C-alpha cells in the first residue's frame, strides 16, 4: 500500500442493503487521520452492516472502497489487518484462554508465518491491558470475566493491533458510565495521535463530547454527514430517532434528551 494520503479510508457511491430494503445509498465518506466520526441511527438502520462493509468483510452492493490509497477489496487480508481493525458488537468465547493470550491476538497481523510473539509484542499487549485497566487480570481465564471486563479486553486487543483505522461497533456496549467515558477517551487520544476512528454509538451525547463529525443513518437509504456541532440539532435527531429530542445547555455544549411527553417533530 502507498504512503498514507490525506484520506486514509474512503468510499464512493457505497450502497448497503438487505433483501428488500436499501439501508445506505450512495455513501460518500473520506476519513482522515486525526478525526473521530460517530455513526448514529436507530436499531436496524445499517450501522453494523456499514462498518462491516467499510472493513471489507462484506461486499457493497455498489461503490468503491479505498484504504491508504489502495483498493480495499483486492488487498490481502493480513495486509489490511495491519492498517484496519474492527471491534464487533460482541465476541463469543468458545475455548479457554488467558487475558494476555487474547490481547496478543491483536499482534497476529504483524507477525510472519512460523514466528512466535516477540518481547515487543508482549509489551504492546501489556500496555493495552494497562490502558483499559486489566493489567492485574492478565493470567485470568477469559471465561471468568464479566461482560464489561470482556468488552474492555476486546478494546485492548485492537489497541494491541495498533492499526491506522479503528472501526468500532458500539464500543461502549456492556460498559458502565465510567468505562464508557474511559473507552471514548482512549479512542479520542488515538485519533489525536494520528489514527482515524469510526464508532457507532447509541448515546448521542457521547458523540457530542468526542466526535469531530457525525454520520446519521436513517435506515431508508438516506444519510447525512457533517461536523458534530452543525449536524446534531433537535430537528435532525428527532427525525433520526423518531422521538422528540430536546437540547439542553451543558458546559458550553448542547446535550440532548429524549422527551417522551411529545411526539416527534
Condensed to tens digits (0 to 9), the pLDDT of residues 196-250 reads 999 999 999 999 999 999 999 999 999 999 999 999 999 999 999 999 999 999 8
- Give the pLDDT of residue 15: 97
Q: State how far the Cα of 258 lies from the Cα of 99, in Å rounded to an integer.
A: 38
Whether residue 188 has pLDDT greater than 70? yes
Start-to-end CA distance of the chain, whole Å, equals 47
Joined together, the cell numbers standing for residue 184 give: 471514548
pLDDT digits (tens, 9 = 90+) for 95-138: 889 999 999 999 998 887 767 888 999 999 999 999 999 999 99
pTM (two decimals): 0.93
Q: How far from 20 is each of 55, 223, 243, 248, 263, CA to CA, in Å?
A: 23, 18, 25, 39, 29
Hey, is 244 helix, strand or coil?
Answer: coil
More confident residue, 28 or 1: 28
Backbone φ and ψ for 211, nearest 5 degrees, come out as -95, 140
What's the mean pLDDT in 255-261?
84
Q: Are strands 62-67 and 7-18 parallel, antiparallel or unpaired?
A: antiparallel
- Give the pLDDT of residue 263: 55
Q: 253 falls in which pLDDT band (50, 70, 90)?
A: confident
Q: State how far the Cα of 244 lies from the Cα of 39, in Å rounded to an integer.
A: 19
Whether residue 4 has pLDDT greater than 50? no
Q: How far from 121 is each of 49, 54, 112, 140, 223, CA to CA, in Å?
A: 31, 27, 12, 19, 40
Question: Can you give the length of the chain in residues?
Answer: 265
pLDDT digits (tens, 9 = 90+) for 63-72: 999 999 899 9
Whether residue 265 has pLDDT greater than 60? no
Instruction: Give the number of C-alpha atoms closer than 13 A to the C-alpha of residue 246, restricted to the C-beta side.
Output: 7
Whether residue 185 has pLDDT greater than 50? yes
Residue tagged 448514529 (cell numbers): 40
Q: State how far the Cα of 92 lies from the Cα of 220, in Å rounded to an integer.
A: 31
pLDDT digits (tens, 9 = 90+) for 76-99: 888 899 999 999 998 888 888 999
Nearest to 49 by CA among 40, 38, 60: 60
What is the sign of the dihedral through the CA atoms of 172, 162, 47 and 188? positive
Q: Which of 52-56, 112-116, 149-153, 207-211 is the least confident region?
A: 112-116
Whether residue 5 has pLDDT greater than 50? no
Helix %, strand %, coil % for the chain, to 5? 35, 30, 35
Hey, is 153 helix, strand or coil?
Answer: helix
- Give the pLDDT of residue 261: 61
Residue tagged 458550553 (cell numbers): 252
- Give the pLDDT of residue 74: 85
Torsion angle defined by CA atoms of residues 221, 222, 228 and 233, in that order, rounded to the nearest 10 degrees: -130
- Give the pLDDT of residue 1: 38
Whether residue 256 has pLDDT greater than 80? yes
Joined together, the cell numbers standing for residue 165 give: 483505522
Amino acid at each position: 500500500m502507498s504512503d498514507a494520503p490525506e484520506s486514509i479510508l474512503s468510499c464512493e457511491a457505497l450502497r448497503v442493503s438487505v433483501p428488500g430494503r436499501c439501508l445506505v445509498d450512495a455513501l460518500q465518506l473520506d476519513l482522515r487521520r486525526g478525526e473521530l466520526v460517530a455513526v448514529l441511527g436507530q436499531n436496524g438502520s445499517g450501522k453494523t452492516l456499514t462498518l462491516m462493509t467499510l472493513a471489507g468483510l462484506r461486499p457493497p452492493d455498489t461503490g468503491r472502497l479505498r484504504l491508504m490509497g489502495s483498493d480495499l477489496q483486492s488487498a490481502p487480508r493480513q495486509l489490511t489487518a495491519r492498517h484496519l481493525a474492527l471491534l464487533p458488537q460482541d465476541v463469543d468465547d468458545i475455548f479457554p484462554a488467558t487475558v494476555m493470550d487474547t490481547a496478543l491476538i491483536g499482534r497476529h497481523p504483524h507477525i510472519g508465518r512460523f514466528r512466535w510473539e516477540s518481547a515487543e509484542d508482549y509489551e504492546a499487549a501489556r500496555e493495552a491491558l494497562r490502558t483499559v485497566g486489566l493489567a492485574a487480570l492478565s493470567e485470568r481465564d477469559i471465561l471468568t470475566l464479566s461482560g464489561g471486563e470482556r468488552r474492555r479486553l476486546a478494546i485492548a486487543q485492537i489497541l494491541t493491533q495498533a492499526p491506522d483505522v479503528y472501526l468500532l461497533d458500539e464500543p461502549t456496549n456492556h460498559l458502565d458510565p465510567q468505562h464508557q467515558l474511559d473507552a471514548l477517551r482512549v479512542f479520542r487520544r488515538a485519533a489525536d495521535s494520528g489514527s482515524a476512528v469510526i464508532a457507532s454509538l447509541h448515546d448521542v451525547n457521547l458523540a457530542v463530547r468526542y466526535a469531530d463529525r457525525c454520520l446519521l443513518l436513517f435506515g431508508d437509504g438516506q444519510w447525512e454527514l457533517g461536523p458534530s456541532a452543525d449536524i446534531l440539532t433537535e430537528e435532525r435527531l428527532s427525525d433520526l430517532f423518531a422521538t422528540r429530542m430536546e437540547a439542553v445547555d451543558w458546559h458550553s455544549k448542547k446535550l440532548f434528551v429524549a422527551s417522551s411527553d411529545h411526539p416527534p417533530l
